[in-house]
Amino acid sequence: PRDQVAFVVFDTTPKNKELLTADHNKIIERIKTLSRGDIGACIYDALDSAVKMFSTQPAGSRAVILLTKNSKDKTTAGARCSN
């Protein structure tokens, strides 16, 4: 079986989800077109969204979630995020 890839872009909210796909070129093209979001960085909300995405996979499947951010977990107003 081919590995599947997905990603979730986030700032104040998770968005621009690319669902699991074996088409790695599709993911590369989406990454090339990403634009900067707002100054929020709700990483835990993005993580929750990614975990839910993987939860639909068959039992025994393995997942790797790679997180990157450059700020504290906060909304654009500086408030704590929902999760």
Q: What is the dihedral of CA 52, 57, 61, 62, to 10 degrees?
A: -30
Task: List, for residues 5-46, the tens digit of each pLDDT value.
Answer: 887 888 777 776 667 888 888 888 888 887 777 777 778 888
Q: Across residues 45-59, what is the average pLDDT?
A: 83
pLDDT > 60? residue 77: yes
Q: Which two tokens stand for residue 32?
A: 């090339």
* pTM assigned to the model: 0.64
Strands (E), 1-83: 5-10, 14-21
Q: For position 45, what pLDDT does the model report?
A: 84
